[in-house]
Structure 1
């Protein structure tokens, strides 16, 4: 029974972690776009967006990342045989990518807090898809385990990434037409 509670808590905090990682880049897109607004709109928007970002990052995203990781370690202690399975090795590699993505997002947040804008809003929208790719990869990997062959998995991720990029380009064209 302990295993099921720990697994449930792990899943809950993974979901809230991803919720933060999905929404924060959207807030960063709005911050980047706010830098192009005239005053006083610029200051008002930036202050509000920075506050929203800081609260989401410090109250939800970081604690969720830590708790998801702690419950994951606890699950591995309860199920050490998973560490002998190749799907778990691949999953842990994706978790490392997720942690890198998380830390990079934090770095971008600190830059924007200092009003250093190195990203375009479209670049940040594209960056936001990184968490989506990691989520899809991990979910399919965990559900399918050994049934997921490397070839099928890699082809599936490439196709998914291409679809996302095509949809991104369509959305970019739609936005540019709307602004004309």
Structure 2
């Protein structure tokens, strides 16, 4: 029974962690657009608000959720039958989750720079970066549901196609925005 409670909490905190991972880079984009497009005094006012919103999101939701997700994930492994013989799909999932934590830490570096008033990447580059968590979410969910290496390979191929289409859509969106002025 403890396993099911841990699993439920794991899923809940995955959702809240991803909420932060989806929205924080969006706030990074808005911040960089303020640097790129706004003049004073609007720039200072907007930057102060964006820094505050990002700080509240990052430390109030994203970091706590990442830590609790990790704890619940480890709890699932230790309360499951996988302790002695973890299946290959679970090792691959751990690899994707490790990549997700690396993404989180990279976002933390950007967050710290933006909090100090330093600029990071352009808003366009951040738009691409913003999709990394989406791609990792797709990979992890398909892997957990399918638990089959052949299906995972097809899923990864689909993920690559999805990624290419996503990047094309972002580029097209930028061209449309620029054409509208």
TM-score, normalised via structure 2 length: 0.95
Map Cα deviations across residues 59-118 of structure 1 (whole Å, 9 max, x no partner). 100000000100010000011427520100110000100000000000001111222213
Q: CA deviation at 1:150?
A: 4.8
Query: Mind listing any 5+ residue stretches in structure 1 that lack a counterpart?
Result: none
**1:5-84 paired onto structure 2 within 5 Å:** 5-36=5-36, 37-81=38-82, 84=86
Please say if residues 89 and 149 of structure 2, whose CA atoms lie closer than 8 Å, have aligned partners that are also in contact: no
Q: CA deviation at 1:151?
A: 3.3
Q: Distance in 2 between matches of 1:151 and 1:144?
A: 11
1:86 maps onto 2:96 in alignment: no
Of 150-159 and 84-93, more deviation after overlay is shown by 150-159
Please say if residues 87 and 142 of structure 1, whose CA atoms lie closer than 8 Å, have aligned partners that are also in contact: yes
TM-score, normalised via structure 1 length: 0.95
State how many pairs are aligned.
179
Of 78-87 and 98-107, more deviation after overlay is shown by 78-87
Please say if residues 22 and 128 of structure 1, whose CA atoms lie closer than 8 Å, have aligned partners that are also in contact: yes
Which 4+ residue blocks in structure 1 deviate beyond 6 angstroms?
A: none
